[in-house]
């Protein structure tokens, strides 16, 4: 009888130890399930927020750019680096001939503004494709910024920016990369030149929206300049 039972017992032990899901405590099982569920849950949240955006009759940003912006927005808000529930997204994957800047009220999921925005003269012609953090490069810098204070400069009313990513955009204030208005950021310029005008590296916007946008996003809100050439892992590694 023992000879008949022993092989069954031996086989049962083999099954238990060869299957970590069977041989686990309830605590371990919960941890494994949590680890598996974290990413899908967060992705689902981003998708849900995107689907619930009130477009306010504006075009929606791309899902890819919005999701990258949202990840950084939550992280920076949690750290206290930004204080407002305002997210400004610039999508430099798009043609400069279309409105590629969005100002979003995250407390209501409402797009407040959608505007043309310029890139640097050495960043590209119609499309942005080359970026820099260096002085006198006349190139745009990607990544996350905290908006600063309003001041009056050579372009009139302007908004200072603090780059939050070391080696990517942290020289923004030193370089004088600010939000300002310019005549070359207009549909008229596009009609005459077949592309938007370009700045010395600043995200310049049209004169008619400057006052509203700057007063909405000033003083510690989140600005994200997106381009698909950078992964979010690179972003996380460089945020200071």
Mean pLDDT of the chain: 86
Per-residue pLDDT band at 37 (split at 50, 70, 90): very low
Rounded alpha-carbon distances, angstroms, from residue 95 to 104, 148, 172: 21, 27, 23
Q: How far is it, in rounded angstroms, from Cα 79 to Cα 173?
A: 21
Task: Return d(Cα 120, Cα 197) in angstroms, integer.
Answer: 9
Q: Where are the beta strands (DSSP E) in 109-181?
A: 110-115, 143-153, 156-163, 178-179
Domains of the chain by start residue, with CATH: 1-52 (no CATH), 61-238 (2.40.440.10)
Higher pLDDT, 43 or 166: 166
Inter-residue contact 222 to 151 (CB < 8 Å): no
Per-residue pLDDT of 54-69, as tens digits, reads 999 999 999 999 999 9
- Tell me, what's the pLDDT at 44? 74
Give CA separation, 103 vs 131, 188, 193, in Å.
Answer: 22, 23, 27
The model's pTM: 0.81
> At 234, which helix (H) or strand (E)?
helix 232-238
């Amino acid at each position: 009888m023992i000879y008949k039972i022993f092989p069954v017992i031996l086989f049962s032990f083999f099954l238990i130890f060869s299957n970590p899901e069977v041989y686990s405590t309830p605590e371990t099982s919960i941890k494994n399930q949590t680890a598996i569920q974290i990413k899908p849950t967060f992705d689902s949240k981003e998708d849900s927020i995107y689907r619930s955006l009130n477009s306010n009759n504006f075009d929606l940003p791309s899902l890819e750019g919005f999701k990258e912006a949202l990840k950084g927005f939550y992280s920076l808000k949690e750290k206290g680096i930004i204080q407002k529930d305002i997210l400004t997204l610039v999508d430099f994957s798009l043609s400069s001939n279309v409105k590629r800047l969005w100002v979003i009220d995250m407390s209501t999921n409402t797009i407040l503004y959608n505007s043309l925005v310029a890139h640097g003269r050495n960043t590209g012609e119609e499309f942005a494709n080359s970026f820099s953090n260096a002085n006198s490069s006349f190139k745009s810098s990607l990544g996350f910024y905290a908006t600063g204070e309003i001041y009056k400069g050579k372009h009139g009313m302007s908004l200072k920016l603090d780059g939050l990513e070391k080696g990517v955009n942290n020289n923004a204030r030193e370089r004088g990369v600010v939000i300002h208005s310019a005549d070359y950021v207009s549909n008229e310029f596009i009609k005459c030149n077949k592309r938007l005008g370009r700045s010395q590296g600043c995200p310049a916007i049209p004169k008619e929206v400057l006052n509203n946008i700057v007063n909405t996003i000033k003083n510690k809100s989140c600005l994200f300049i997106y381009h698909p050439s950078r992964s979010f892992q690179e972003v996380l590694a460089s945020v200071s």
